[in-house]
Structure 1
Amino acid sequence: MGDMRLSLGLGAVGLLCLAASTCLLAETVGPVKADTTLWRLALEARPDEHVSMPQVIYALWQQNPHAFRQNNLHHLIQGAVLTPPSREQMLATDAATAKTWYYAQLAEQPLPSHAKPTTSTLVSTRRDNGSATAALSPPPATSADINSNKNAMVIAELDTPDADVSPLTTRVSPAVSVAAATALAESTSSRDTHATPQHPTTAKGSWRVQHEFAAEQRYFNRSGMQGAAHFHSLLSYRGQWSYEDVSRRHNVNIEPYLRWHQRDSDSHLVDLQQAYWRYIGTGWEVKAGIDTVFWGVTESQHLVDVINQTDVTAGVELEAKLGQPMLSLRRTGKAGTLDIYVLPYFRERQFPAPAGRLGPPLRVNQDLTWYESSDGKHNLDVALRYSQRFAGMDVGLSFFSGNNREPLLQPTPSGELQSLYYQMEQYGVDLQWVQGEWLWKLESIYRRTGYAEYVAATGGFEYTQIGAFAQVWDLGWIAEYQYDSRGAQATLPGQNDLFLGWRLALNDLAGSDFLVGVLQDLDNKQSRSMKLEGSTRLSDSMRLSVHAWLFQTDDPLDRLFLLKRDDYIALQLSYYF
């Protein structure tokens, strides 16, 4: 039989099986056809989101040596039928070791002749529905960042007429494109690779440590409403210590995060993003400690995401989270995945002072915080989430009861703001459906709290255009509509708004990608916000990122009015070791 040269990568195809959903297990995967990719086979075999894709791929490779020519991961034999390993077999190799092996395989695949392969391992923080896995070293030359519901790298196959083994390249798209990848693969050369993960396990288990330092410089086009400065510098550190015992069932993860803000002491942060113990059983797992959990599928906002408190001092993106103390239980089976969370302690939302910008016009006095619950921070919050996959559609149903993560801000006679935390109940649903190059998304919630009862929803699509501008680039077109039944009384923009975005992946060795987005208020044509995000890899240990925001409105009653003078651009340089 002919065999096909496959290149590995993380990709939007991976969205076929959401990070928090469960794929129905198949007895076999395959047979391998001319357009089959190893990533797609691994998606079919993946039992649930707790098993990382590198763990699935490694276990598939171990379980099915007949499917790979000379045990070479890059040579999948056409016509082969693979037997999926059990979930326990996949978890037998810890996630960190599987990632190290996986990206070493990426580094050893043929690359364009003008660049050298890199053996740098482990990619950036992964945003999953239901869990967060932090990997701190920068992506290798052939990888791309994964970030809460964004495109990542996918396997791409080339079929050349003069050989049954074709040189391949990684791509970014939810579908394989032969023509668009040909140009990048023309200069590749072919060689066999075979590597086995070297497990650092001893009789006492194994430790793994990584670090990240980042320096960010923000420039604001105008002075703030109270004369705040134009230039702001920020420094941050993130560490990761992980331990796994010899049985690979007990895990300990510790991830501290520190941030220093030049202009605003209220934006300083010392936090534990993760500090938990986890035990993995057969079809279930328990976790106790501090963790960061992400829910949601849409690009412009995450309505269903209620477990962790938002780190507002990190920026207006509202993507960063504070670590949350919890006890969680996960039960996984063919009927789906059920997550139960018990949250014994509440994290208050921290706000930047006026000098730090991108926040309220008055300082929020944390000493005046009010709770509807007599237990205050120690109110016992609970949350549930059930997820399942049905023929390409991933469905999540969630429930939360406890302290509202979004406080009301009330002015005080002293000229400060007071945070009011009411109790709330929230019922949520999130859907994601893949149809070829189309990715359809929906999040909707019903929330009942002490001062309001409302429904909100965000829905839309992302379409990926492969080989844009006659290059090997991929261009994603994003459109989402935001609705909130509270209308003008909504606490955030998005009550009747349209988000349009474009995501460009250059598919280069530096993993360069950019996102431009516009949120337009449909009730007020003069009200809109625009954002820019981008990053590129400078070396094996350094990455440069850029992000910028522009706020436009002339209505003093508009939520964006307080930010209209805070247009800014920021550059961040991250160093990994």
Structure 2
Amino acid sequence: MITKKWQRKIGRTLLYSALLPITSSAFAEWGSVSGWVNAQTRFYPDTSEYVEEQTYPAAAFELTYSQDLGDSDQFIATLFARGDSVDDERNYLDAREFLWLHHGENFQTRVGVGQVSWGVNEIFKITDLINQKDRAELPFQKKLGQPMASLSFYWGEQLIELYAMYDVRPAWYPGEDGRLRYPLLIDADNQKYDRGKTGKTDFAAKWKTRWGDMDISLSHFYGVTRDPYFIFNYDFADPLLIPVYEKVNQTSIDLVYPWGDVLLKAEATYQTGSIEQFESVVGGFEYTQGGLFDSNLDLTWYVEAIWDSRDQIDGTLFDHDIGIAGRLALNDARDSNLVLGVVADYEYDEAFGYFFWTNTFGSSWTLNITGQYFLANEPRLDPAEYASEIQAFTDEIEAGTTPIPQQVIDDMLALYEGTTIGKKQFDRVVEEFDRIQIDPTGYSEDVDFDNVPQTLFDLIRISDNSQKMNLIERDAYIQVDVFYHF
């Protein structure tokens, strides 16, 4: 997951951060060490379209070291590692935190590798974009460490946060033996970047205040997006999707208002750059029923809905959805909690459900059980409806026809026009097809042409928003985690 290039970058950041506390005369006593080790098994009842493996044993650990450096300074380091016995791409090491913190009377500075959480919602988090999500640990909301320097301070009753960040952590994607993936693999070693005028340096700022009983936060992020879009490499011998990261400006607001026993919440964003300009809004509420049925049980409801102005596919799973979840806290000696939820798309006939159970046992152990189920009622694209156009295009490439007849090219482009592919992505398809039309011989070396029609059909499926659940419908799973804490 972490390339050698990124290992060098992280190493330099860790070294520079470590030099700060080492120079302190307060480095006289050792700090505290804590962490956990984890054994995990994920089981898929069905095989997928691309992978027959169903059982995925894995292990992980997280180690945190904290050192006080006098009254105003602290050093924190958290390292995480995951090993998967099936998916090699899920073997990685990450510095979650490696920070020097300095506290003043009304301010705090942080330098190193850190974690930042923005937003107020529980299900759809659209304003939280400082850190890259750790997609290898989904559905849990874990994040990769982000190299940064930050300053936060109070200006009267208002909190101001300023951030300077170094580069973007590339997203993780499953490997050839992984599940919950596209039909085509992601080429995570050859990402493309448009870093804008500030290069590898990104900036963000947040202002938080209170207006009556309402908490209000305004923020702006200028940097490389954490959610790339994809382009095809047009290598039919080794077909891969290439992530494209572009500089974006995103302005956001989030609100929390207590209405009796109900917490009303909202987030809204406006983003320019990347694949297209768009707006996104999430609204909902949180409500806790304490002492349910005159017992020790507490039931908290989370209800949220998201609307996104994008009609085209753009690497986002949630755009027109409603989410409902309930968290049941048993308030027992084992700290038992049960979460049940469902997210349904109100534009397409699809949904997914999830559950999460956790409780402790003994003095140092925790058991987690997680499951997800995917429901796709949208009609699956039928390859027979695309076969004649795709086969004609494939035959012309294999024959090396120069130029390929315009009608064959137009027929292929018409197939993409019937999907929700984004304009930038479609323009890329047009440009590449123009090159193929002029000289198809460069696209036919070492190619098994029996596989090309399936590759072209998979590209069409990936380009259509109505198929996003169809692609992973057979990837429902149950996962068991056992943690030992120390």
TM-score bracket relative to the smaller structure: 0.7 to 0.9
User: Per-residue deviation at 1:500?
Assistant: 1.2
Q: How do 1:226-375 and structure 2 match up within 5 A?
A: 226-246=50-70, 248-315=71-138, 317=139, 319-373=141-195
Q: Among 244, 254, 257, which residue is 1:430 paired with?
A: 254
Specify the code of the residue in structure 1 equivalent to 2:324: L
Per the alignment, in what secondary structure is the counterpart of residue 215 of structure 2? strand
Per the alignment, in what secondary structure is the counterpart of residue 315 of structure 2? coil
Per the alignment, in what secondary structure is the counterpart of residue 240 of structure 1? strand
Per the alignment, in what secondary structure is the counterpart of residue 89 of structure 2? helix
Looking at structure 2, the residues matched to 303 and 393 of structure 1 have their Cα atoms a distance apart, in angstroms, of: 20
User: Per-residue deviation at 1:326?
Assistant: 0.3
1:566 and 2:390 equivalent? Answer: no
Where does residue 43 of structure 1 map in the other structure?
A: none
Looking at structure 2, the residues matched to 570 and 255 of structure 1 have their Cα atoms a distance apart, in angstroms, of: 24
Where does residue 48 of structure 2 map in the other structure?
A: 224
Per the alignment, in what secondary structure is the counterpart of residue 266 of structure 1? helix
1:489 and 2:398 equivalent? Answer: no
Specify the code of the residue in structure 2 equivalent to 1:428: S
User: Given that residues 351 and 360 in structure 1 are in contact (C-alpha distance below 8 angstroms), is that contact kept between their aligned partners in structure 2?
Assistant: no
Partner deviation per Cα, 1:45-72 (whole Å, 9 max, x = no partner) = xxxxxxxxxxxxxxxxxxxxxxxxxxxx
1:474 and 2:474 equivalent? Answer: no
Partner deviation per Cα, 1:130-161 (whole Å, 9 max, x = no partner) = xxxxxxxxxxxxxxxxxxxxxxxxxxxxxxxx
Per the alignment, in what secondary structure is the counterpart of residue 476 of structure 1? strand
Normalised to the residue count of structure 2, the TM-score between the two structures is 0.74
Per the alignment, in what secondary structure is the counterpart of residue 31 of structure 2? strand
Looking at structure 2, the residues matched to 298 and 447 of structure 1 have their Cα atoms a distance apart, in angstroms, of: 19
Looking at structure 1, the residues matched to 129 and 44 of structure 2 have their Cα atoms a distance apart, in angstroms, of: 31
Looking at structure 1, the residues matched to 181 and 66 of structure 2 have their Cα atoms a distance apart, in angstroms, of: 35
Where does residue 393 of structure 2 map in the other structure?
A: none
Q: How do 1:70-219 and structure 2 match up within 5 A?
A: 204-219=28-43
Looking at structure 2, the residues matched to 434 and 546 of structure 1 have their Cα atoms a distance apart, in angstroms, of: 32
Looking at structure 1, the residues matched to 314 and 290 of structure 2 have their Cα atoms a distance apart, in angstroms, of: 38
Per the alignment, in what secondary structure is the counterpart of residue 248 of structure 2? strand
Per the alignment, in what secondary structure is the counterpart of residue 289 of structure 1? strand
Looking at structure 2, the residues matched to 403 and 456 of structure 1 have their Cα atoms a distance apart, in angstroms, of: 18
Where does residue 139 of structure 1 map in the other structure?
A: none
Per the alignment, in what secondary structure is the counterpart of residue 170 of structure 2? coil
1:541 and 2:364 equivalent? Answer: yes
1:516 and 2:337 equivalent? Answer: no
Partner deviation per Cα, 1:245-275 (whole Å, 9 max, x = no partner) = 23x2111111000000111111112010000
User: Per-residue deviation at 1:205?
Assistant: 4.7
User: Per-residue deviation at 1:360?
Assistant: 2.5
In percent, how many aligned pairs have the same letter?
26
User: Given that residues 235 and 260 in structure 1 are in contact (C-alpha distance below 8 angstroms), is that contact kept between their aligned partners in structure 2?
Assistant: yes
Per the alignment, in what secondary structure is the counterpart of residue 350 of structure 1? coil
User: Given that residues 289 and 326 in structure 1 are in contact (C-alpha distance below 8 angstroms), is that contact kept between their aligned partners in structure 2?
Assistant: yes
Looking at structure 2, the residues matched to 253 and 375 of structure 1 have their Cα atoms a distance apart, in angstroms, of: 33
* 343-352 or 542-551, which deviates more: 343-352
Aligned residues: CA RMSD = 1.9
User: Per-residue deviation at 1:490?
Assistant: 4.6
Looking at structure 1, the residues matched to 335 and 192 of structure 2 have their Cα atoms a distance apart, in angstroms, of: 46
Specify the code of the residue in structure 2 equivalent to 1:564: E
Looking at structure 2, the residues matched to 450 and 203 of structure 1 have their Cα atoms a distance apart, in angstroms, of: 45
Q: Among 219, 222, 243, which residue is 1:398 paired with?
A: 219
Looking at structure 2, the residues matched to 220 and 468 of structure 1 have their Cα atoms a distance apart, in angstroms, of: 35
Q: How do 1:502-513 and structure 2 match up within 5 A?
A: 502-513=326-337
Specify the code of the residue in structure 2 equivalent to 1:348: P
Looking at structure 2, the residues matched to 502 and 512 of structure 1 have their Cα atoms a distance apart, in angstroms, of: 14
Partner deviation per Cα, 1:184-209 (whole Å, 9 max, x = no partner) = xxxxxxxxxxxxxxxxx988255111
Specify the code of the residue in structure 2 equivalent to 1:563: I
Partner deviation per Cα, 1:456-503 (whole Å, 9 max, x = no partner) = 011101111122244221112221111101135353233221111111
Residue-pair matches, total: 373
User: Given that residues 273 and 292 in structure 1 are in contact (C-alpha distance below 8 angstroms), is that contact kept between their aligned partners in structure 2?
Assistant: yes
Structure 1 residues 285 and 227 mapped into 2: Cα distance closer, same or farther (>3 Å)?
A: closer
Looking at structure 1, the residues matched to 49 and 248 of structure 2 have their Cα atoms a distance apart, in angstroms, of: 34
Looking at structure 2, the residues matched to 228 and 394 of structure 1 have their Cα atoms a distance apart, in angstroms, of: 49
Per the alignment, in what secondary structure is the counterpart of residue 474 of structure 2? coil
Looking at structure 1, the residues matched to 26 and 145 of structure 2 have their Cα atoms a distance apart, in angstroms, of: 30
User: Given that residues 245 and 274 in structure 2 are in contact (C-alpha distance below 8 angstroms), is that contact kept between their aligned partners in structure 1?
Assistant: no
User: Given that residues 231 and 243 in structure 2 are in contact (C-alpha distance below 8 angstroms), is that contact kept between their aligned partners in structure 1?
Assistant: yes
Per the alignment, in what secondary structure is the counterpart of residue 469 of structure 2? helix
Where does residue 441 of structure 1 map in the other structure?
A: 265
Normalised to the residue count of structure 1, the TM-score between the two structures is 0.62
Looking at structure 1, the residues matched to 473 and 208 of structure 2 have their Cα atoms a distance apart, in angstroms, of: 40
User: Given that residues 173 and 188 in structure 2 are in contact (C-alpha distance below 8 angstroms), is that contact kept between their aligned partners in structure 1?
Assistant: no
User: Given that residues 230 and 242 in structure 2 are in contact (C-alpha distance below 8 angstroms), is that contact kept between their aligned partners in structure 1?
Assistant: yes
Looking at structure 1, the residues matched to 267 and 196 of structure 2 have their Cα atoms a distance apart, in angstroms, of: 32
User: Given that residues 354 and 360 in structure 1 are in contact (C-alpha distance below 8 angstroms), is that contact kept between their aligned partners in structure 2?
Assistant: no
Structure 1 residues 553 and 354 mapped into 2: Cα distance closer, same or farther (>3 Å)?
A: farther
User: Given that residues 228 and 357 in structure 1 are in contact (C-alpha distance below 8 angstroms), is that contact kept between their aligned partners in structure 2?
Assistant: no
Q: Which structure shows the bigger proportion of residues in helix conformation? A: 2
User: Given that residues 353 and 362 in structure 1 are in contact (C-alpha distance below 8 angstroms), is that contact kept between their aligned partners in structure 2?
Assistant: no
Structure 1 residues 207 and 318 mapped into 2: Cα distance closer, same or farther (>3 Å)?
A: closer
User: Per-residue deviation at 1:305?
Assistant: 0.6
